[in-house]
Amino acid sequence: MPDAKPSPPTTLVIFGATGDLTRRLLVPAIINLTRGAMVGDDLDILGIGIEPGGDEMLLKRLDDFLAGLGDGEPLVKDPAWARLRQRISYISGDFTGDDIYLEIAKRLSSAPGGNAAFYLAVPPRFFGGIVEKLAAHGLAAESENSFRRIAIEKPFGTDLASARALNAQILNKVGEGQIYRLDHFLGKETVQNLLTARFANMMIESLWNSRYIDHVQITAAETVDVGSRGAFYDATGALRDMVPNHLFQLLAMIAMEPPNSFDAEAIRNEKSKVLKALRVFTPEEAATHGVRGVYSGGTLNGVEIPAYHQTPQVAPGSKTETFVALKLYADTWRWAGVPFYLRTGKAMTLRDTEIVVEFQPVPFAQFRETDVTRRLPPNRLVIQVQPDEGMSLEISIKSPGLSVDTVPVSLDFRYADQFDIGKMTGYESLIYDLLIGDQTLFQRADGIEAGWAAVQPFLDLWAKGGEPEAYAPGSMGPACAEGLIERDRRQWHALDVVHAKHK
Ligand code: BG6
């Protein structure tokens, strides 16, 4: 990965500049980059949106929002914001018409350097059309000395066919090297650390295969309910919202082969290879390898929440799932026979994203004549992605005393204990990499399509009928999720263990 150097002069054109993503994540991240001198006074921001108004309208909205952000001193008072806000302008217009692109062209023609990055922070139905318009107006054409890049938010497609169609539409106009498909999980520090943990540590990587690893669990539990996102969520569901993107990015980092270098292409090749190796189930197999749930009404952390079916803009009789658990296989030499159990849901016990790598049991023949009568617990490596980023290694030791008995203990590392990780949005590295042209943390067309291919059998099966099983808010999901793993004589890792330790 390149050394951190300030980004080159660029105009960042944000489509959807008055939207939630821009004010909640993009602008705060750019303020953080400005404070750290990773972007300089040669970054201009040109906001585009349908809301009428000019520069002052956008700046006022951002000021108002930033007044409520920040630890202690609000972000609106940050000197970095004072510098950045001088370089923000706004054009109001319709993304589907031509006028706005003519205006963007005019602004870019006088921009120093001529570099532009277009950030599509808009609903997905606009993605393909905006790229076509940019190309039609010559705005996507790069020259020897200037770049034109396009960052696209998720969701990228709603199934395999639509993801393929969108890739085809976009790649018909611009090169893959210009496209930055975002998955914000890749901006999280601990996710980036997965590669270092694996490839900078002999004792981890040498055990990293089916010979020593029994199975892997990936969990993204959320306490939030669907709330005001009913319209989006009801058309999406937990599987589409979290699995082919966020959870598969984690899976790919865990399961990929070592890349030949830390080059974007080398890493993306290996990630795509492992995603393409995910077994694509028959309909019969899908029926036994995936379960879904939906939360009912109840209390969560002392707050009354409505059942998913009572959420505004959720269709009556909706079959959309708010929880999903899958058992998957990556059919490669390294992972033959090792199940990857994935689960994610809303309105669960606690917010926790973690990866658990459970090792094979020891043969333990030497304990036969001792007091160690129970099965030794397996070693586990628990990678805590959020919150409380860190890692724990669960091992067995002899408990003190005259008899031979073992007790499991945990060797713990927490980022916050050793580093000042500050308050980052997770978007800093993604925006910075977009500006310097490093595609490592962005998804490539083939990887996206491989992810959708692996979940398509579940989408097809669940579209045909049946319904998700109810679970109580504040639980760990429906009973069928326990059944999925217990059938294999395994258990989900108890999430509260890690958190309880750090309270
Ligand atoms: C988004 C999903 O992509 O990721 C949301 O649409 C989900 O439903 C969110 O809540 C989770 O991200 P994070 O960073 O809060 O774990």
Q: How confident is the model at residue 366 (pLDDT cuts 50, 70, 90)?
A: low
State residue 462's pLDDT score: 97
State residue 2's pLDDT score: 45
Which residue's CA is minimally distant from atom 2 of ligand 1? 241
Q: How confident is the model at residue 1 (pLDDT cuts 50, 70, 90)?
A: very low
Which residue's CA is minimally distant from atom 6 of ligand 1? 241
State residue 5's pLDDT score: 82
Asked whether residue 220 carries a pLDDT value surpassing 50, the answer given is yes
Q: What is the mean pLDDT of residues 466-486?
A: 97
Atom of ligand 1 nearest to the CA of 154: 3
- Single-letter residue type at 301: N
CA atoms within 13 A on the CB side of 431: 29
Give 397 Cα–ligand 1 centroid separation in angstroms: 38
Which alpha helices (H) appear in 372-473, and where do they start and end?
415-418, 428-436, 445-464
Which residue's CA is minimally distant from atom 13 of ligand 1? 185
Do the annotations mark residue 17 as ligand-binding? yes
Which residue's CA is minimally distant from atom 14 of ligand 1? 185
Do the annotations mark residue 184 as ligand-binding? yes
State residue 406's pLDDT score: 81
Atom of ligand 1 nearest to the CA of 188: 14
State residue 30's pLDDT score: 96
Give 373 Cα–ligand 1 centroid separation in angstroms: 44
% residues pLDDT > 90 (the chain): 82
What Cα–Cα distance (Å) separates residue 179 from each residue in 95, 98, 149, 152, 199? 19, 22, 6, 8, 27
Tell me the pLDDT tens digit for each residue of 150-192.
Answer: 999 999 999 999 999 999 999 999 999 999 999 999 998 888 8
- Single-letter residue type at 212: Y
Tell me the pLDDT tens digit for each residue of 270-289.
Answer: 999 999 999 999 999 999 99
Q: What is the mean pLDDT of residues 127-137?
A: 98
Q: What is the mean pLDDT of residues 445-473?
A: 97
Q: Which residue has the higher pLDDT, 158 or 407?
A: 158
Instruction: Indicate the SS3 state at residue 63.
Output: helix
Do the annotations mark residue 20 as ligand-binding? yes
Long-range CB contact pairs, 156-164, < 8 A, 24+: 156/124, 156/127, 156/181, 156/245, 156/443, 156/448, 157/448, 157/452, 158/124, 158/235, 158/236, 158/240, 159/240, 159/452, 159/456, 159/459, 160/449, 160/452, 160/453, 160/456, 163/448, 163/449, 163/452, 164/449
pTM for this prediction: 0.94
CATH of 10-153, one of 3.40.50.2020, 3.40.50.720, 3.90.1150.10, 1.10.3720.10: 3.40.50.720
What rounded mean pLDDT belongs to the chain?
Answer: 93
Tell me the pLDDT tens digit for each residue of 25-56.
Answer: 999 999 999 998 889 889 999 999 999 999 99
* Residue 242: burial class (beta carbons within 10 Å; 0-12, 13-18, 19+): buried
Give 346 Cα–ligand 1 centroid separation in angstroms: 10
Of 215, 246, 289, 493, which residue is the catalytic one? 246
Least confident of 322-331, 387-396, 451-460: 387-396
State residue 370's pLDDT score: 64
Give 242 Cα–ligand 1 centroid separation in angstroms: 7
Say whether 246 is catalytic.
yes
Which regions of the chain carry the CATH code 3.40.50.720?
A: 10-153
Asked whether residue 3 carries a pLDDT value surpassing 60, the answer given is no
| CATH architecture for the domain at 186-358+443-500 | 2-Layer Sandwich (3.30)
The Cα 476–Cα 350 span in angstroms is 9
Q: Which residue has the higher pLDDT, 489 or 422?
A: 489
Burial of 176-190, coded b for 16+ CB within 10 Å and e otherwise, reads eebbbbbbbbbbbbb
- Among 181, 185, 225, 352, residue to substitute to test ligand 1 (most atoms within 8 Å of Cβ): 185
Give 429 Cα–ligand 1 centroid separation in angstroms: 17
Which regions of the chain carry the CATH code 3.30.360.10?
A: 186-358+443-500
